[in-house]
């Protein structure tokens, strides 16, 4: 797909779209669909500056994890207060309204030592899940307009935490007596995820990407060294991302916490994009690694909120100058989209990014 030159007629607002918090967002008369633009960005052929507005999240209730985590996003809405309960491995989660999320109640881990994994962990029987019913229920939810992303809420380390609590899980990564049991479990978990995600692809063919969660850091530092992650987690992640890429799907990592030291591992594990939290210096990450992984950018000192229209447009031009490089493109961090992007900034950034990405 060649990138068309910018035409001012594109600024025609074809509809208003509700976004996070009920904010109304103008949808312009784009030269290509939002799906095509998102795919082009990940293929390093950006059309305009994507802001996650172009994405459709998909977390179907056919996957028990999504109910347990109170995180169902599909055609039939779910009240989060109805969530909690057993996940796909039978581990009980509890919904915490104040946190707007679920957690395994700590203090009574399902297993105390990774040597118990082969005996106590029973993998789900995917044949018992109602895939046909889920496909029918969501027939019109996933469209050809949006870039459709299925979220998988428990990755490798997070799954281990659900069995062992945080302290037990992190010790299992370091303890040489437990490490081989962890590796064996992660290998089997990757087999299981490949089977499960293959069924997602079969029954929800409009999916474009998968976003898998695996938190690796706290506010100030990564939980474990890059060397530990490289040995204990990266090879098993890579098996799954290689499979998804072989099916023509993109791979997004959702990993909270300080992750600067781990970016080479994210790249080695095959992730196409990652939208980090505010404790990360995303500008520095883009500078160092932006040619190998798409990292969500924050506005920082270019924040347009509360500014005059003239200042919003100036800030948008500066953002485009810094980050809208056709050879090293960016995506606006999902957090900024959630907090709301002022209209004048959004329009000016669209204009400037269109021109820069089209080589004008």
- List the structure tokens of 41: 């960005």
Question: 324: closest CA among 302, 339, 307, 342?
Answer: 302
User: What is the value of pTM for the model shown?
Assistant: 0.95
Model pLDDT, residue 204: 98
Full DSSP string of 100-148: TEEEPPTTS-S-SSGGGHHHH-----GGGS-HHHHHHHTTTTS-SSSEE
Average pLDDT of the segment spanning 250-269: 98
pLDDT band at 1 (very low <50, low <70, confident <90, very high): low
Question: What is the overall mean pLDDT for the chain?
Answer: 95
Domains delineated in the chain: 33-75+123-155+171-176+184-357 (3.20.20)
pLDDT tens, 137-156?
999 999 999 999 999 999 99
Instruction: Judge contact between 343 and 27, C-beta under 8 A.
Output: no
Q: Give the integer Cα–Cα distance in Å for 95 and 336.
A: 26
CA 209 from centroid of its chain's CA atoms? 9
Among the ranges given (7-11, 101-105, 267-271, 336-340), the one the predictor scored with the smallest mean pLDDT: 336-340
Q: pLDDT tens digit string along 223-258? A: 999 999 999 999 999 999 999 999 999 999 999 999
Confidence bin at 21 (pLDDT 50/70/90): low
What the block records as the tokens of 49 is 């500056």
Q: How far apart are the first and last CA of the chain?
A: 17
pLDDT value for 144: 95
pLDDT of residue 18: 80
């Amino acid at each position: 797909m060649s990138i068309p030159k910018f035409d001012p007629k594109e600024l025609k607002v074809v509809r208003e779209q509700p976004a996070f918090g009920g904010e109304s967002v103008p949808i312009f008369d784009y030269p290509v669909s939002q799906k095509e633009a998102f795919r082009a960005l990940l293929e390093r052929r950006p059309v305009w500056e994507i802001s996650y507005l172009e994405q459709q999240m998909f977390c179907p209730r056919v996957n028990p994890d999504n109910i347990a985590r109170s995180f169902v996003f599909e055609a039939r809405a779910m009240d989060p207060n109805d969530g909690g309960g057993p996940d796909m491995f039978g581990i009980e989660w509890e919904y915490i309204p104040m946190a707007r999320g679920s957690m395994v109640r700590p203090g009574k881990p399902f297993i105390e030592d990774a040597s118990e994994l082969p005996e106590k962990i029973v993998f789900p029987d995917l044949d018992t899940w109602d895939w046909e019913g889920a496909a029918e229920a969501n027939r019109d939810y996933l469209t050809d307009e949006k870039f459709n992303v299925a979220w998988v809420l428990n990755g490798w380390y997070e799954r281990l935490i659900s069995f062992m609590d945080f302290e037990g899980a992190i010790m299992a990564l370091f303890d040489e007596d437990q490490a081989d049991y962890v590796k064996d479990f992660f290998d089997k978990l990757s087999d299981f995820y490949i089977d499960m995600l293959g069924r997602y692809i079969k029954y929800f063919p409009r999916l474009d990407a998968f976003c898998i969660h695996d938190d690796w850091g706290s506010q100030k530092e990564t939980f474990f060294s890059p060397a530990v992650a490289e040995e204990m987690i990266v090879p098993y992640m890579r098996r799954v991302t290689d499979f998804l890429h072989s099916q023509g799907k993109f791979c997004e990592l959702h990993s909270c916490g300080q992750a600067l030291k781990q970016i080479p591992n994210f790249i080695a594990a095959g992730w196409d994009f990652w939208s980090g939290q505010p404790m990360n210096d995303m500008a520095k990450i883009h500078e160092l690694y932006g040619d190998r992984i798409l990292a969500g950018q924050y506005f920082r000192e270019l924040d347009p909120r509360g500014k005059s229209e003239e200042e919003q447009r100036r800030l948008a031009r500066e953002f485009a100058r810094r980050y809208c490089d056709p050879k090293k493109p960016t995506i606006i961090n999902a957090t900024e989209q959630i907090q709301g992007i002022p209209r004048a900034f959004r329009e000016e950034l669209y204009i400037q990014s269109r021109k820069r990405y089209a080589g004008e």
